[in-house]
Amino acid sequence: MKFLKIILLASLLIGCAPIRVSYDFDRTTDFNNYKTYNYYSDMNTGLSELDTKRLLNAIDAKMTTKGFSLSDNPDFFIDIKSSEFQEAQRSTVGVGLGGGGRNVGGGISIGLPVGQSHVNRQIIIDFVDEKKKQLFWQAVSESNYNPNAIPGEREERLNAIVEKVLLEYPPKQ
- Mean pLDDT for the chain? 83
Whether 127 is covered by a domain: the verdict is yes
Tell which wins on pLDDT, 115 or 120: 120
* Whole-number Cα distances in Å, 53 to 118, 151, 165: 24, 12, 17
Count of other CB atoms within 10 angstroms of residue 8: 10
Q: Which residues pair with 22 in a beta bridge?
A: 140
Whether 12 is covered by a domain: the verdict is no
Burial of 149 (0-12, 13-18, 19+ CB in 10 A): middle
Name the domain count of the chain: 1
CB 56, CB 79: distance < 8 Å: no
3-state helix, strand, coil in the chain (%, to 5): 30, 40, 30
Task: Give me the domain span that covers residue 72.
Answer: 18-87+115-168
pLDDT of res. 15? 45
Whether 10 is covered by a domain: the verdict is no
Whether 78 is covered by a domain: the verdict is yes
By C-alpha distance, which of 117, 164, 167, 118 is closest to 141? 164
Whether 42 is covered by a domain: the verdict is yes
Q: Which range has highest mean pLDDT (8-12, 15-19, 105-109, 150-154)?
A: 150-154
Residue type, position 11, single letter? S
Q: How confident is residue 10, by pLDDT bands cut at 50, 70 and 90?
A: very low
For the domain that residue 83 is a member of, what is the CATH number? 3.30.160.670
Q: How confident is residue 132, by pLDDT bands cut at 50, 70 and 90?
A: very high
How far apart CA 38 and CA 70 sit, in angstroms, is 6
How far apart CA 112 and CA 140 sit, in angstroms, is 33
What are 71-103's pLDDT values in tens digits? 999 999 999 999 987 765 555 555 555 555 665
